[in-house]
Amino acid sequence: MIELQSVTKDFAGVRAVNDVSLTVEQGTVAAVVGTSGSGKSTLLRMVNRLIEPTSGRILIDGADTAGVPAPDLRRRIGYVIQDHGLFPHWSAARNIATVPVLLRWPRAQVRTRVRELMEMLQLDPDVIGPRLPHELSGGQAQRVGVARALAVRPELLLMDEPFGALDPVIRAQAQADLARVQKRLGTTVILVTHDMAEAIRLGDRIAVMRAGRVEQFAAPADIIARPATPFVADLLGEGDRAFRYLSLRPAADLARPEGPGAGPAAGDADAPPLSPGTTMAEALSEMIWTGRDHVRVARADGTGGTVSRDDLIRAGRPE
Amino acid sequence: MFRTLLLSAAASATLAFAAQAQVVVSSKIDTEGGVLGNIILAVLDNAGIETENRVQLGATPVVRQALVAGEIDIYPEYTGNAAYFFNRPDEPVWKDAAAAYAEAKKLDGEQNKLVWLTPAPANNTWGVAVRRDVAEPAGVTTFSQFGQWVAGGGEVKLAASSEFVNSAPALPAFQTTYGFTLSQDQLIVLSGGDTAATIQAASNQTSGANAAMVYGTDGQIAVSNLVVLQDDKSVQPVYQPAPVIRAEVLADHPEIETLLKPVFESLTLETLQDLNGKVQVDGLPAADVAKEYLTANGLLK
Amino acid sequence: MNGGTRLLILPLALSPLLPFAVFRANRIAEAEPRSLVAALGGGGAALAVAGLAAMIGALVLARRAQVRTVVAAALVVAILLAMGWAAARLTAGGPPQVRVGPGAGFWVALVSAGLLVVDARARLHPRPAMRLAIVAVAVAIGAAILWSGALSQLSIMQEYGNRSASFWREGARHLWLAFGSFAAAMLAGVPLGIGLTRARRASAPVLGLLTMLQTIPSMALFGMLIAPLAWIAANVPAAHALGIRGIGAAPAFAALFLYSLLPIVANTVVGLTGVPRSVTEAADGMGLTRRQRLTSVDVPLALPVIVSAARIVLVQNIGMATVGALIGAGGFGTFVFQGIGQTATDLILLGALPTVALAFATSAVLDALIGMLPGTAR
């Protein structure tokens, strides 16, 4: 559990972060959203003490971070930044091994760990491992950066615009990979982004920052349903609200069982079902595009179902 | 790396200590410096005095500064140069051999605790040399005779640097004192030319040259068959080479004075020309030339 | 065959028409030209011309750069050996003062052939390790020719023969001056550069001071250091015991050291500030301590820039160390300045040629090393 208690940072008389208090539960993802200059990066960098707070405390599992030498603290906390920051003179594998080597792990253990991480992030250790950063694609470099941050299985992972440098297709893939890895490892994540869609997609809770203050800290559904301030609403974009809300849940939640006589005919019964992970927003988009009023979705348990347009439209409005 | 540095520092420290007891023999970097420095070195070595060889150390200011600072102990210097060391270049005293030597010895003894030992009877001063096949028939060995001969229509063509031709204490002073005038046709001005170039011109009779600006003991003079005109009315300062030694070192090794006296007395203008020539023209090492000369003349025991 | 080759073949082919050697009655007498026939004899000249024609043919016809490199290199060696032979023939039976040196024909042929080697080698695009090997082979061939005595009657080698002992002594001094002051400047300059990246306010004045030092003419700086060092030597016994003196190696070493500082410090600063911000940020975020970041990230990444400064400094020091001879530091400059004093060109060359060769070899080796550094993508 990470607790920020009345954290404030002044830079030469300018208040960058103003009395921020928030708690991030173990194993959850907290997304910090805001425009540039809102203080979100500063807030993140105070957690691993790249920046020291002017006042306030930051506790990890109840222990004040100020009580630990900064390098020791940072080795326990994963850190991923926008331009991946890989060391250009080291191979991908050596980059991933950075913190284990700092902690003087035995060589064999370092090697095993690097392989394990690369496989988890779908990087072939024998092919990608020996490459230098300039020989990697953007997506590969980003994944190496994540692997490096996770090398000693930190309980906390800090990510500062980790997908900012990726093109949209690769970004979506990288976001999905992160969600998968985070679930598997149960790591607590604080993610800074300027992209509300990304925050909604990845965050268990979202902190919206403006001018150094947190305007709202709540679950995505709450943020969308009940934006606390006009700024939060602005950030959500009024025209997109319903779609954002629908993007939070899988379409399968609304599926009715299929079968003879169960509901009206789907029209195109032989069209392949949508995949289990499809969100309600995607399902509605599919219907609008294909002109149908029903789509079939597959469920994780292998059964199928049908989702109607009316159900989707109803679900797009918070009660 | 660091250890190597320390070791070499320690090594040079011990060297420096060992050097304390030795007489540091030095000289200027030019040809004559090589010959005279090696002569002094060979004589001291032969007498069993421990020496350190710093011969041909550098240019005049460097060697002079080193001697005054006590970093070297002995080197050959020209009497005329004392005029510049003591910043009195315009006084007539430097134009008389004996007076110049006495003055240099007195000033350095009083001010710098340096002792000028017996000088060589050779004057390495700025002057003119004439082709032997011209000088001998005309009976010219001194500037006075040269002046009369030129004034009387003697055919001369002098190769010289523009500095020699134009600067007041050089050719103009010779002309005034010895009563002759060289017309533009009788001059070959090699701008920026050194004595090597002028001697070569006279030697090869380039553009009809038959006389050259020289320094008295230039090594090329003998082989080029030139005769140096004697400055019999003392237009130029006298530049006699003499060993200059620190008084403190001379007190420790008083025999140096008597060891070097006969050696330097033997070094006449022609001898020095010959020795310099062996180095400059024949390309022999100065140390070999020095030793050979000393041995051949029974100056080494 | 390419444009470069064609351009060089013509002077090479015409070079036998120029005097191959020059003859001097003594080392400072006027040079008299000697034709190829006079230098090598009728048979020798015919052989030389035939050999030259064959090699030109091979160079024109050869398609592969490797072949042309080897042929051109062989041509260089042949020209050198022919010169040695000519010198031996022309000095034979004469008085010992006689000197034979290279003439215009030799120089034209040698420079053309040398440029052909460079041109062909450049087309090989050798990797850094290969470049090192080429330097090593060139040095080995040069040494073998000199060692064999084939050139011993050549004027410059006669100068060497008269001074073989002092040549190596001055050479060792030269190396010590150039490389020692370089090493000291690296030991001082790199930390100073690192310090300046941390104390940025000091950066401008320090670099300004070093730039000012750089603009002092070398002879003036050498001379300026004599007085203070002599004073130190006279008044600080420890300094005196360390071998510090107003004349000799100390002021030369100090001057070269001071000249070396600017490129090293400036390039260290440039190299370190050129490390991408994201990289330093990541290093800090990973928990590297300041020292760890410096040694394992900042300095390695700045290394190519620092090593190119090292190359500049070494080449500069090797050249400038010659001036040290004027203040008693020794080195190859001793021969240069003695040669100037004696107007003996060959003696000047005896000091100048090894200096140039040393600078070339050092530059080539460091160039190759820069290419071998990790992170320098080619």
- Taking the C-alpha atoms of residue B186 and residue B211, their distance in angstroms, rounded to an integer, is 10
Cβ distance of B279 and C342 shorter than 8 Å: yes
Q: What angle do CA B35, B40, B42 make, to 5 degrees?
A: 90
Q: How many other C-beta atoms lie within 10 A of the C-beta of residue C372?
A: 14
CATH number of the domain that residue B149 is part of: 3.40.190.120
- Quick one: B224 and B91 in the same domain? no
**Tally of CA atoms within 13 A in the half-sphere of C346 that contains its CB:** 30
Low-confidence stretches of chain C (pLDDT beneath 70)? 1-4, 374-378
Which residues span the domain enclosing B219? 126-228
**A207 Cβ under 8 Å from any chain C Cβ:** no
- Taking the C-alpha atoms of residue A307 and residue A253, their distance in angstroms, rounded to an integer, is 9
Strand partners of residue B78: B241
- Quick one: B150 and B218 in the same domain? yes
Does B258 map to a domain? yes
Cβ distance of C159 and B56 shorter than 8 Å: no
**C241 Cβ under 8 Å from any chain B Cβ:** yes
Listed by start position, the domains of chain C span 3-125, 164-372
Q: What's the pLDDT at B204?
A: 85
Closest CB to B13 among C234, C241, C337: C241
Q: What is the DSSP letter of B141?
A: -
Cβ distance of C26 and B69 shorter than 8 Å: no
Domain count for chain B: 2
- Quick one: B158 and B135 in the same domain? yes
Arithmetic mean of pLDDT over chain A: 88
Which residues on chain C are in Cβ contact (under 8 Å) with B283? 26-27, 97, 99, 158-159, 162, 344, 346-347
Which residues on chain C are in Cβ contact (under 8 Å) with A148? 286
Burial of C4 (0-12, 13-18, 19+ CB in 10 A): middle
Cβ atoms of B132 and B227 within 8 Å: the answer is yes
- Quick one: B117 and B20 in the same domain? yes
CATH number of the domain that residue B110 is part of: 3.40.190.10
Residue A193: strand, helix, or coil = strand
- Quick one: B249 and B208 in the same domain? no
Distance from CA of C371 to the nearest CA of A (A): 14
Does B98 map to a domain? yes
| Higher local confidence (pLDDT), A48 or B58 | A48
Cβ atoms of A238 and A232 within 8 Å: the answer is no
Which residues on chain A are in Cβ contact (under 8 Å) with C276? 83, 85, 88
Among A30, A178, A158, residue whose Cα is nearest residue A85: A158
Which residues on chain C are in Cβ contact (under 8 Å) with B61? 223
Q: How many other C-beta atoms lie within 10 A of the C-beta of residue A42?
A: 21
- Quick one: B89 and B165 in the same domain? no
Does B4 map to a domain? no
- Taking the C-alpha atoms of residue C124 and residue C131, their distance in angstroms, rounded to an integer, is 10
Report chain A's terminal Cα–Cα distance, integer Å.
31
**C26 Cβ under 8 Å from any chain B Cβ:** yes
Q: Which two tokens stand for residue B244?
A: 């200059």
Query: Chains near C, with 3+ CB pairs < 8 A?
Result: A, B
CA separation, residue B108 to residues B77, B79, B245, C199 (Å): 12, 11, 10, 52
Closest CB to B281 among C97, C159, C248: C97
With cut-offs at 50, 70 and 90, classify the pLDDT of residue A268: low
Chains A and B touch (3+ CB pairs under 8 A): no
Closest CB to C287 among A74, A83, A87: A74
Among A79, A92, A69, residue whose Cα is nearest residue C285: A79
- Quick one: B165 and B216 in the same domain? yes
- Quick one: B36 and B85 in the same domain? yes
Mean pLDDT of A111-134: 92
- Quick one: B113 and B247 in the same domain? yes
- Taking the C-alpha atoms of residue A261 and residue A265, their distance in angstroms, rounded to an integer, is 8
Cβ distance of C285 and A83 shorter than 8 Å: no
**A132 Cβ under 8 Å from any chain C Cβ:** yes
Q: What is the DSSP letter of B122?
A: -
Order across the sheet with B74-78: list the strands. Answer: B51-58, B23-28, B74-78, B241-246, B114-116
Of B228, B247, B270, which one is at a domain's C-terminal end?
B228
Of B186, B203, B228, which one is at a domain's C-terminal end?
B228
Interface of C with A (CB under 8 A): 276, 278-279, 281-289, 292, 297, 300-301, 374-375, 377
- Quick one: B51 and B27 in the same domain? yes
| Higher local confidence (pLDDT), A264 or B155 | B155
- Taking the C-alpha atoms of residue B115 and residue B101, their distance in angstroms, rounded to an integer, is 11
Does B5 map to a domain? no
- Taking the C-alpha atoms of residue A18 and residue A22, their distance in angstroms, rounded to an integer, is 12
**A81 Cβ under 8 Å from any chain C Cβ:** yes
| Higher local confidence (pLDDT), C127 or A42 | A42
Percent of chain A with pLDDT over 70: 96
Does B173 map to a domain? yes
What's the pLDDT tens digit per position in A143-166? Answer: 999 999 999 989 899 999 998 878
- Quick one: B87 and B151 in the same domain? no
Among B60, B59, B61, B66, residue whose Cα is nearest residue B25: B66
**A148 Cβ under 8 Å from any chain C Cβ:** yes
Q: What's the pLDDT at B19?
A: 44
| Dihedral (CA of A185, A191, A194, A197) sign | positive
Query: What is the pairing mode between strands A188-193 and A156-160?
Result: parallel
Interface test with C, best of A79, A86, A87, A90 (most C CBs within 10 A): A87
Which residues on chain A are in Cβ contact (under 8 Å) with C285? 48, 50, 74, 79, 81, 85, 158
Which segments of B152-285 does DSSP mark as H helices, in order?
162-166, 171-178, 195-204, 220-223, 247-252, 255-265, 269-280
- Quick one: B29 and B117 in the same domain? yes
Closest CB to C26 among B59, B197, B282: B282
Does B69 map to a domain? yes
- Taking the C-alpha atoms of residue C58 and residue C37, their distance in angstroms, rounded to an integer, is 24
Q: Rg of chain B's alpha carbons, rounded to an integer?
A: 21
Cβ distance of A89 and C300 shorter than 8 Å: yes
Q: What is the pTM of this model?
A: 0.78
Which residues on chain B are in Cβ contact (under 8 Å) with C30? 200, 204
Cβ atoms of A190 and A203 within 8 Å: the answer is no
Cβ atoms of C161 and C149 within 8 Å: the answer is no
Does B2 map to a domain? no
**C188 Cβ under 8 Å from any chain B Cβ:** no
Q: What is the DSSP letter of A74?
A: H
Q: Provide φ and ψ at A58, rounded to 5°.
A: -125, 125
Each residue's pLDDT expressed in tens, for chain B with a length of 301 residues: 444 444 444 444 444 444 457 899 999 988 899 999 999 999 999 999 999 998 988 888 889 988 988 889 999 999 999 999 999 888 889 999 999 999 999 999 999 999 999 999 999 998 999 999 999 999 999 999 999 999 988 899 999 998 899 888 889 999 999 999 999 999 999 876 788 889 988 988 888 999 999 999 988 898 888 999 999 998 999 999 999 999 999 999 999 999 999 999 999 999 999 999 999 888 888 999 999 999 999 998 7
Q: Provide φ and ψ at C92, rounded to 5°.
A: -55, 130
Cβ distance of A102 and C300 shorter than 8 Å: no
Query: Chains near A, with 3+ CB pairs < 8 A?
Result: C
- Taking the C-alpha atoms of residue B117 and residue B241, their distance in angstroms, rounded to an integer, is 10
Fold of C164-372: MetI-like fold (1.10.3720)
Q: How many other C-beta atoms lie within 10 A of the C-beta of residue A290?
A: 12
Q: Which two tokens stand for residue B94?
A: 């430097």
Q: What's the pLDDT at A173?
A: 87
